[in-house]
Amino acid sequence: MSDHIGHTGAMLASPRCGAKTRIGGACRAPAMHGKTRCRMHGGAPGSGAPRANRNAHKHGRFSRDAIAERRQIRALLGNVRKMLEEMK
């Protein structure tokens, strides 16, 4: 049985990731070589969220077009309400 304690000195001495966890503490993983983040928080090539946050696009409810359309509908409904009030 090998003693792993003797082989972890380099990892324990390496700089830690600078990211914060969900509960507010610091990430305890070692940072990637020449980076300030670990492989899970953006230190590795290709890690992190894609450009334009394509992960969040599920249904398009909050796309620019959908928001603009809802604004136009709200404005139109406001005009209709004003016309109805004037007719009374």
pLDDT tens digits, residue range 49-79?
A: 667 666 666 788 888 899 999 999 999 999 9
Does residue 34 surpass a pLDDT of 90?
no
Tell me the three state secondary structure of residue 26. strand
Where does the pLDDT of residue 45 fall: very low under 50, low under 70, confident under 90, or very high at 90 and above?
confident
Q: C-alpha angle 27/33/36, rounded to 5°?
A: 40
pLDDT of residue 58: 76
- What's the predicted TM-score (pTM) here? 0.42
